[in-house]
């Protein structure tokens, strides 16, 4: 997802209104890692309605022996395991650290997108104890994870030292979360030159990105796990990098909606290389809202695409209300 577009790059009047709405919630998202360390010192009384705890069913062969909660007491749609693809959402639905979010979401979804936006905050790198707890929850609930790598990594920077530092940081996040066996590591290739800088600048940026990624692969990073996401800039800028390294992609449908681009522009040529889809709607010019904000034409296209899709789908929203509304719309596909 494009965190920057939510915090600073919304230039239209509608965008500025969105920024006022989203600044505080998203800065809370970026600060939550700090409170993770103190989570165990807090009261055991949750500040939110907790999801049902799993009950062991020795006679059941599915879901690792965990009994399905077909009807949630709180009215949440029960879609876990209902689709041929893996249905997920982000690790910041509740105004709480990552572990309470994962505990809350585990009975509701097949996969959770671990949102690790900023590498500059040490708290954004999960501690090894947290990784072990995430693995335990994953095993208990038949839950998978994917990792959204930090968005502040300049792999194409003109300065070789900056590129090396970005690569080292990416590898650190990759190795720390590797015990979770993530289904994908979603990567932003940021810092594309402005159109006015000319084709030579774009070529140099691409070469730098290629060099940085090749160096990462030499250190053991699995290229099959990386998925390059489409951002606000035209995907044509990164397409040669994806092709040269035969990389997988993460298609963000909400970004296409916000740019008023047809879904087919990327889903048709890159469908077979798509391992992750980010779904979110538009409301008043703001993206990362509930799926109620996906127009019918785009929804019809996505519904048809998902019939044969077998990868991950992350509902990329950041509130309980948006998630509940989104799951309700996803239930139409059952």
120-155 residue pLDDT tens:
877 889 999 999 999 999 999 999 999 999 999 999
Whole-number Å distance between alpha carbons of 169 and 155 = 10
H or E, element range at 279: strand 274-279
Has this prediction a pTM greater than 0.85?
no
Give the up-direction half-sphere exposure of residue 165: CA atoms within 13 A in the CB hemisphere. Answer: 11
pLDDT of residue 123: 80
206-251 residue pLDDT tens:
999 999 999 999 999 999 999 999 999 999 999 999 999 999 999 9
pLDDT of residue 72: 56
Does residue 59 surpass a pLDDT of 70? no
CB distance 209 to 155 below 8 Å: yes
3-class state of residue 237 by DSSP: helix
CB distance 203 to 183 below 8 Å: no
H or E, element range at 299: helix 296-306
Q: For the domain 3-42+72-333, what is the CATH code?
A: 3.20.20.150
Both structure tokens of 332:
């139409």
pLDDT of residue 194: 87
**pLDDT category of residue 205 using cuts at 50, 70 and 90:** very high
pLDDT of residue 122: 75
For residue 242, which of 256, 254, 231, 258 has the smallest C-alpha distance?
231
Does residue 278 surpass a pLDDT of 50? yes
**Mean pLDDT value across residues 184-196:** 94
pLDDT of residue 258: 96
Report the chain's C-alpha Rg in angstroms.
Answer: 20
CB distance 280 to 253 below 8 Å: yes
SS3 content of the chain, % helix, strand, coil (to 5): 50, 15, 40
User: DSSP letters along 146-178, please?
Assistant: EEE--S---TT-SSHHHHHHHHHHHHHHHHHHG
Between 268 and 18, the more confident residue is 268
pLDDT of residue 117: 86
Does residue 327 surpass a pLDDT of 90? yes
Give percent of the chain with pLDDT exceeding 90.
74
What's phi and psi for 84, nearest 5 deg? -70, -20
**Mean pLDDT value across residues 162-174:** 97
Does residue 23 surpass a pLDDT of 70? no
CB distance 120 to 192 below 8 Å: no
Whole-number Å distance between alpha carbons of 174 and 169 = 9
**pLDDT category of residue 195 using cuts at 50, 70 and 90:** confident
Look over the chain and give the mean of its residue pLDDT values, rounded to a whole number.
85
3-class state of residue 226 by DSSP: strand
pLDDT of residue 87: 99
Between 198 and 182, the more confident residue is 182
Rounded to whole angstroms, the maximal C-alpha distance in the chain is 65
Does residue 3 surpass a pLDDT of 50? no
pLDDT of residue 42: 43
pLDDT of residue 56: 35
Both structure tokens of 164:
């090396």
CB atoms within 10 A of CB 323: 22
* Cα 326–Cα 137–Cα 310 angle in degrees, nearest 5: 50
């Amino acid at each position: 997802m494009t965190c920057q577009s939510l915090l600073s790059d919304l230039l239209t009047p509608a965008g500025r209104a969105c920024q006022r709405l989203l600044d505080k919630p998203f800065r809370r998202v970026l600060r939550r890692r700090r409170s993770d360390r103190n989570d165990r010192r807090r009261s055991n009384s949750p500040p939110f309605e907790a999801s049902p705890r799993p009950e062991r069913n020795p006679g059941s062969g599915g879901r690792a022996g965990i009994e399905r909660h077909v009807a949630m007491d709180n009215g949440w749609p029960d879609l876990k395991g209902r689709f041929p693809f893996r249905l997920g959402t982000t690790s910041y639905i509740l105004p709480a650290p990552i572990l309470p979010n994962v505990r809350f979401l585990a009975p509701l979804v097949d996969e959770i997108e671990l949102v690790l936006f900023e590498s500059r905050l040490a708290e954004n790198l999960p501690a090894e104890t947290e990784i072990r707890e995430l693995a335990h929850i994953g095993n208990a609930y038949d839950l998978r994870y994917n990792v959204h790598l930090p968005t502040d990594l300049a792999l194409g920077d003109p300065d070789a030292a900056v590129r090396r530092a970005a690569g080292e940081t990416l590898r650190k996040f990759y190795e720390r979360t590797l015990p979770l066996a993530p289904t994908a590591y979603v990567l932003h290739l940021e810092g594309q030159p402005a159109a006015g800088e000319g084709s030579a600048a774009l070529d140099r940026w691409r070469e730098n990105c290629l060099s940085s990624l090749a160096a990462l692969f030499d250190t053991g990073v699995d290229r099959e796990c990386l998925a390059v996401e489409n951002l606000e800039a035209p995907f044509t800028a990164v397409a040669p990098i994806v092709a040269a390294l035969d990389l997988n992609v993460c298609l963000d449908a909400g970004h296409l909606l916000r740019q008023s681009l047809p879904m087919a522009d990327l889903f048709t040529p890159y469908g077979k290389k798509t391992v992750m889809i980010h779904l979110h709607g538009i409301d008043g010019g703001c993206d990362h809202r509930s799926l109620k904000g996906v127009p019918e034409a785009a929804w019809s296209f996505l519904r048809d695409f998902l019939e044969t899709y077998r990868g991950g789908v992350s509902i990329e929203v950041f509130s309980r209300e948006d998630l509940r509304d989104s799951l309700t719309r996803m239930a139409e596909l059952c």
